[in-house]
Structure 1
Amino acid sequence: MSGAAKVVEVVAAVIWKDGRYLGVKRPEGKAMAGAYEFPGGKIEPGETPEKALDRELCEELGIRPVTIAFFREKAHAYQHLSVRLHFFHVRAYDGEPLPLEGQDMEWLTPEQGRTRPFLEADRDIVDALVAETA
């Protein structure tokens, strides 16, 4: 039997604007296409989570976070992949988010987020955002 799968370190941003956060729909051709997620991606070797978040948001959305506040960390095991997610609140940023990777995007109230098909690893975060803003 093989050993435990490598854990992939990932950053994710809860980007806020006027009481709503940005939900991003994974584009066709990507694993779990059609599911919603928080913008972000893999932490590259030698990167801090904050540096990875800055790079990923620039690549995916064309924005630069001005304020990054750690929210929470969690591990999640999918059937094909284990991830450790580092979630951050981003309440100020330079630029306007654009779908640079062909993804659909939607500004969601915390309650609306519960009606979207978020990735399994993100669902308790969606619930936590409702509880925080209640």
Structure 2
Amino acid sequence: MDNNLCSTKKHIHVTCAIIERDGLVLATKRSAAMSMPNKWEFPGGKIDPGETAEECLRRELYEELGIGARIGPSLPTSTHQYPTFTITLHPFVCTIEEGEIVLHEHAALLWLQPSELHSLDWAEADVSVVAAYVSTSGRTF
């Protein structure tokens, strides 16, 4: 079988929220039932056809965490190639406007100092987002 015929990977575009509160940043842990189980990530999800990244992020934060958020500045997109698909993350710095966090999909959450973010076992695609956030915030590990 010619491997070149099977080399086309699915490419998905996903938003993610770097939620800040009182100098801390929210990280969420993927549940055992999710792909990449027990990895840490910034919450968010797949952008639906016809949906802007900001609309997607508002919807996903409500669905996953039960909160309304103010979508702030974007950070540079980050593309990562996993073995079976490629993902482009569209990160935004956000704050909670309404509601209290209720985990509908994730197993756990942590509020961390930016300098502590590197200590978690992040999903590979999120690693560069962590680095971009820390560098644009003037913070260093």
With normalisation by structure 2, the TM-score equals: 0.87
1:55 aligned residue = 59
Matches within 5 A, 1:33-52: 33-52=37-56
1:90 corresponds, among 58, 82, 94, to: 94
Report the number of matched residues: 134
Extract structure 1 runs of 4+ deviating beyond 4 A.
none
> Shift of residue 129 of structure 1?
3.0
2:24 corresponds, among 2, 13, 20, to: 20
Matches within 5 A, 1:72-91: 72-91=76-95
1:32 corresponds, among 32, 36, 42, to: 36
Equivalent-residue separation in structure 2 for 1:3 and 1:15 (angstroms): 36
Q: Which one is further off, 2-11 or 31-40?
A: 2-11
Query: Which structure has the greater CA radius of gyration?
Result: 2
Equivalent-residue separation in structure 2 for 1:107 and 1:130 (angstroms): 15
Cα RMSD (Å) of the superposition? 1.5
Structure 2: runs of 5+ lacking an equivalent:
none
Structure 1: runs of 5+ lacking an equivalent:
none
With normalisation by structure 1, the TM-score equals: 0.92
2:105 is aligned with 1:107 = no
